[in-house]
Amino acid sequence: MERRLFRIEGRVQGVWFRESTRREAIGLGITGYAKNMADGSVQVLACGEPGALDRLKNWLKQGPPMARVDKVEWIESADECPDSFVTR
């Protein structure tokens, strides 16, 4: 199991980005969280199999229909993984 911490920039708050990410992650068998950041970005901790994390990364580059994603960055993370995927 890998852990990746994503930072998504663009029009990603107020467009159901966190909830849409939660639904996508659950469908891929990924645990973690999505949370709005003070700078207008969204942070996503994703824990799962590498192939599932790659599919989530590709989805994050598009996001839900009302979003506009300008940038997606990620790093390997040592954070603890929740038992499910939640929004914060």
- Catalytic annotation, residues: 18, 36
Which residue bears the tokens 């300008």?
Answer: 70
- What is the distance between the alpha carbons of residues 1 and 68, in angstroms, rounded to a whole number? 29
Alpha carbon separation from 46 to 18, 42, 66, 69 (Å, rounded): 12, 13, 22, 18
